[in-house]
Structure 1
């Protein structure tokens, strides 16, 4: 038998409020619970939908864009790579200064990178640039 979750359990597992999960259901981003009223419960499928939604939000996607993504059958990684910008889409680029004349340009949305991943990449590339400077001296 598939594991069943209460709304409170989903909230604890995902760090979301009841209100947020209900809003996602209202917007059609997450399926409605099984059963009704006090007998309502959620399944692993609901958990996966919410996790996927959080993944895309952390990648910088708007809820409208997430609705489009959830309507596609590709895996999240395939979908992130295959998306082409549409007219009017706004993309945010990070420009990180590493050294004089050396700058790293990242579009975290397209790269599927969180801020933590971007910082780690900067630190690793920065260490390489420092090593090159050290080797030159």
Structure 2
């Protein structure tokens, strides 16, 4: 047995916080893997739960079901950035370089991974240090 944790359809829906009808739609249209077994004996595992949570996250971000299907199948392409709208919540990182000098980073919009953000931060700090090194206080 490759996936020891098994859930009924109702249990899966509770875990994913999705209606039964939606999960059945996703199975029917091949967005999530088919369960093991049929009808009431059907069992869903961690893989299907993970697929549902990804679909839910991407749907909330405005990604189409067609694009979600491609992403789940491993087709690599950038998810287009959504236009800024009034009332939208954005996450920013603020790099305090020195008094009066701050860099605002929006990793999602800049398409930077956490590792790239850390490398950028180190680079900015090194550049600032090299610029101000000869400056007398």
TM-score (norm 1): 0.57
Q: 2:62 aligns to what? A: 60
Q: 1:94 aligns to what? A: 84
Structure 1 stretches of at least 4 aligned residues deviating more than 3 Å after TM superposition: none
Structure 1 position 5, deviation (Å): 0.4
Pair 1:62–1:37, CA change in 2 (3 A): same
| 1:3-50 Cα shifts (integer Å, max 9, x gaps) | 110111111111100000000111110111101122111011111111
Q: 2:10 aligns to what? A: 8
Q: Which has the larger radius of gyration?
A: 2
SS of the equivalent of 1:56 reads helix
Pair 1:23–1:84, CA change in 2 (3 A): closer
Residue pairs, 1:38-49, within 5 angstroms = 38-49=40-51
CA distance in 2, matches of 1:60, 1:41: 29
Pair 1:46–1:94, CA change in 2 (3 A): same
Pair 1:84–1:52, CA change in 2 (3 A): closer
5+ residue gaps, structure 1, are: 74-78, 86-90, 97-114, 126-131, 133-137
SS of the equivalent of 1:34 reads coil
Structure 1 position 58, deviation (Å): 2.0
Structure 1 position 92, deviation (Å): 3.7
5+ residue gaps, structure 2, are: 95-99, 101-137
Pair 1:93–1:31, CA change in 2 (3 A): same
Equivalent residues, number:
94
Residue pairs, 1:16-55, within 5 angstroms = 16-55=18-57
CA distance in 1, matches of 2:18, 2:79: 30
TM-score (norm 2): 0.57
Name the Cα RMSD after superposition.
2.8
Structure 1 position 95, deviation (Å): 5.6
More helix by share: 1
SS of the equivalent of 1:94 reads coil
